[in-house]
Amino acid sequence: MKKIRIPCLITILFTGLVTGLFAAPPETQTLPPEVARAFAKAQIQVLDTSFPISDFSLPLLDGKMQSLSSLKGKVVFLNFWATWCPPCRNEMPDMEKLYNRFKNEGLEFLTVNIQENKREIESFMKEFKLTFPVVIDFSGEVAGQYGIRGIPTTYIIGRDGRIIAAAIGGRQWYSAEIIEAFRILLANGS
């Protein structure tokens, strides 16, 4: 049986995509203006409406279970990806740099590999020298919960457990603008 792979499409409008996907209703976004400006400058879409996370629990590469809700109270970089996706492969080295830059300052990374086996993922992580946490969505159910239609897709989740920003498609995650946006976000307690 051939595995169905999600195409690497980046032409999706986020706000229309997630409406109705989450259990709790959206709320008007109340990010500090300096945070919103910094993310806009970094070309990361800040949402006018914030959406609560849809919790999940998936296995890490070591087999231990990781839930998204266990990271509440921290800023979370939630990324959906696959090893075969060229934009995913391109952004991973910068994600590793961003992870190492902010991991001790309150930014948590949780990357969700979609429908691949552990051996493929471990080989990929070793090849790219990646150390950030990876959970495996073997069935694709969590990707479905989050309305993933193209990868990579990244959500930035505030300390209150609500999605505050989104990036569909690959990014240069270690640009000066993105570093500054996360520095401002983490300093603001949002």
For the chain, domain boundaries: 32-188
- Dihedral (Cα; 38, 44, 48, 52), 10-degree rounding: -110
CATH architecture of 32-188: 3-Layer(aba) Sandwich (3.40)
Say what the pLDDT of residue 50 is.
74
Residues in the chain: 190
The radius of gyration of the chain's CA atoms, rounded to the nearest angstrom, is 15
**DSSP for residue 24:** S
Question: What is the rounded distance in angstroms from the CA atom of residue 59 to the CA atom of residue 68?
Answer: 11
Q: What is the DSSP string of 100-141?
A: HHHTTTTEEEEEEEES--HHHHHHHHHHHT--S-EEEESSSH
Dihedral sign (CA 130, 135, 137, 143): negative
What's the pTM value of the predicted model, to 2 decimals?
0.85
Across 21-35, 115-129, 157-171, least confident range: 21-35
Q: Is 34 helix (H, G, I), strand (E, B) or coil?
A: helix
Q: Is the model more confident about 56 or about 13?
A: 56
Strands 134-137 and 107-114: parallel
* Res. 53 pLDDT band, cuts 50 70 90: confident
* Res. 10 pLDDT band, cuts 50 70 90: very low
Question: Nearest CA to 181 among 72, 77, 52?
Answer: 77
* Res. 11 pLDDT band, cuts 50 70 90: very low
Evaluate if residue 12 carries a pLDDT over 90.
no
